[in-house]
Structure 1
């Protein structure tokens, strides 16, 4: 078999699943229920964030919180302060791709 096959959760339970973590990309699947999210941090690569379902509430650097819905894709530059939350009742599901992989990112 030439291809590699990966799986991710299809439930609504909170999860941060590191699906692919190789020299090319980091591919991460995230599920957050209301009032859940990530600790505030700085992006360690270029981040591409796809909203699969729910409403993403995100504050980048010092700007106000912006909200994004299913089908929205964000491109967030390296070294941006990020505060990622689900402030709504619906489950938030995201796919996050970091490229290049943070271990190889040339600053």
Structure 2
């Protein structure tokens, strides 16, 4: 078999799954319920964030919180302060791709 198959959880429970973490990309699946999210941090690569369901509430650097919904894809530059949350009743599900993989990022 040439291809390699990966799976992610189909769940409504909180999860942060590092599906692919190789020298090319980081591919991460996240599910958050209301008032859940990530600790504030700085992006360690270029980040591409796809909203699969729910509403993403995100504050980048010092700007106000912006909201994005199912079907939206965000591109977030390297070294951007990020505050990622679900402030809504509906479950938030995201796919996050970091490219290049942070281990290869040329600073």
Quick check: TM above 0.5?
A: yes
Structure-1 residue corresponding to 2:70: 70
Give the unaligned 5+ runs of structure 1.
none
Listed one character per residue, the Cα deviations across residues 74-101 of structure 1 (whole Å, up to 9, x for unaligned) are: 0000000000000000000000000000
Structure-2 residue corresponding to 1:43: 43
TM-score, scaled relative to structure 2:
1.00
Q: CA deviation at 1:11?
A: 1.0
Q: CA deviation at 1:50?
A: 0.1
TM-score, scaled relative to structure 1:
1.00
CA distance in 2, matches of 1:88, 1:34: 5
Listed one character per residue, the Cα deviations across residues 16-40 of structure 1 (whole Å, up to 9, x for unaligned) are: 0000000000000000000000000
Moved over 2 A (4+): none
Q: CA deviation at 1:6?
A: 0.2
CA RMSD of aligned residues (A): 0.3
Structure-2 residue corresponding to 1:16: 16
| 1:102 equivalent in alignment to 2:72 | no
